[in-house]
């Protein structure tokens, strides 16, 4: 059994939202650009609150941004 | 300029803290270990070194941290910064615990089994023990800064 992972579609969603920059998304989610880079690269798992903020910034439900894979 | 585009304001500030730690440490311990404990001038010389440390720290902080905050935009801490701070504090705490335990073992062993002279030390004075504890504080602070830098690089 593999390690559970969380994936995200932030890069694609930014592209769909008129090429929204990481800095723009960071400002909307009230975090630094470094945090957005880390989340987008799958190197940092955000808190539930921040995950909702990011989904809200794109105007989509949470599961459209983040997906959980239990590694089975 | 490439350096400043690759590193965030936070990382540059940590580098600044780390370099300040090393500079102050070098200045302080280089001066202190040249003093003769028990001499008449010891307290005055030690006070001079401490004043020197404070002056270096203040001038360095104004110049370096001022420049960093002019060149890169200062940002408020967010949740990832706080998570990294917690992880680094933990590493600093572990390092401090290990160093304090080693100092305690050293003191107990030199009191009970070996002579302090076998370590090239003339006398285990309270001042000497205080300096060992100061080295511990600086070392654990350095471990904390290095851990923060590693954690930031790891998520980038």
User: pLDDT digits over A15-62, tens only?
Assistant: 999 899 999 999 999 999 999 999 999 999 999 999 999 999 999 999
Nearest to B13 by CA among B66, B92, B59, B58: B66
**Shortest Cα–Cα distance, A35 to chain B (Å):** 6
Contact of A27 with chain B, judged by CB distance below 8 Å, is answered with: no
The answer to whether residue A29 sits within a structural domain is yes
B51 class by beta-carbon count within 10 Å (0-12 exposed, 13-18 middle, 19+ buried):
exposed
CATH number at residue A52: 1.10.260.40
Min mean pLDDT across A8-12, A26-30, B92-96, B152-156 is at: B152-156
How high is the ipTM of this complex? 0.84
Chain B positions in Cβ-Cβ contact with residue A32 (cut-off 8 Å):
8, 10, 75, 78, 80-81
Least confident of A24-38, B87-101, B121-135: B121-135
Is residue A67 one of the residues assigned to a domain? no
What's the total number of domains in chain A? 1
Classify residue A66: in a domain, yes or no. Answer: no
CB contacts of B78 in chain A (<8 Å) are 30-32, 35
* Domain encompassing residue A45: 5-58
Residue A70 included in any domain? no
**pTM over the 0.90 mark:** no
Q: If DSSP codes are grouped into helix, strand and coil, which group holds residue A69?
A: strand
Nearest of B86, B65, B49 to residue B9 by alpha carbon: B65
Q: Give residue B122's pLDDT.
A: 62
Residue A68 inside a domain? The answer is: no
> CB A38 to CB B155 under 8 A?
yes
Does residue A48 fall inside a structural domain? yes
Number of H helices, E strands in chain B: 6, 0
State mean pLDDT over B7-24: 90
Task: With residue A7 as reference, give the H or E element that holds it.
Answer: strand A5-8
In-domain check, residue A65:
no
CA end-to-end span of chain B, whole Å?
19
């Amino acid at each position: 059994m593999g390690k559970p992972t969380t994936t995200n579609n932030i890069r694609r969603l930014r592209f769909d939202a008129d090429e929204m920059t990481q800095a723009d998304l960071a400002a909307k989610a009230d975090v630094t650009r470094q945090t957005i880079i880390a989340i987008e690269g799958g190197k940092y798992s955000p808190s539930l609150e921040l995950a909702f903020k990011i989904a809200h910034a794109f105007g989509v439900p949470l599961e459209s941004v983040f997906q959980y894979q239990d590694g089975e | 300029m490439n350096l400043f585009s690759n590193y965030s304001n936070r990382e540059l500030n940590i580098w600044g803290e780390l370099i300040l730690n090393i500079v102050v440490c070098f200045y302080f311990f280089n001066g202190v270990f040249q003093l003769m404990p028990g001499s008449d001038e010891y307290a005055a010389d030690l006070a001079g070194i401490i004043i020197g440390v404070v002056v270096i720290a203040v001038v360095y902080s104004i110049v370096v941290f001022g420049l960093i905050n002019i060149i890169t935009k200062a940002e408020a801490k967010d949740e990832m910064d706080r998570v990294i701070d917690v992880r680094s504090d933990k590493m600093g705490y572990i390092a401090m615990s290990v160093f304090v335990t080693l100092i305690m073992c050293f003191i107990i062993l030199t009191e009970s089994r070996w002579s302090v002279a076998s370590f090239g030390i003339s006398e285990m004075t309270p001042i000497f023990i205080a300096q060992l504890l100061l080295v511990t504080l600086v070392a654990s602070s350095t471990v904390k800064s290095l851990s923060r830098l590693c954690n930031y690089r790891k998520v980038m």
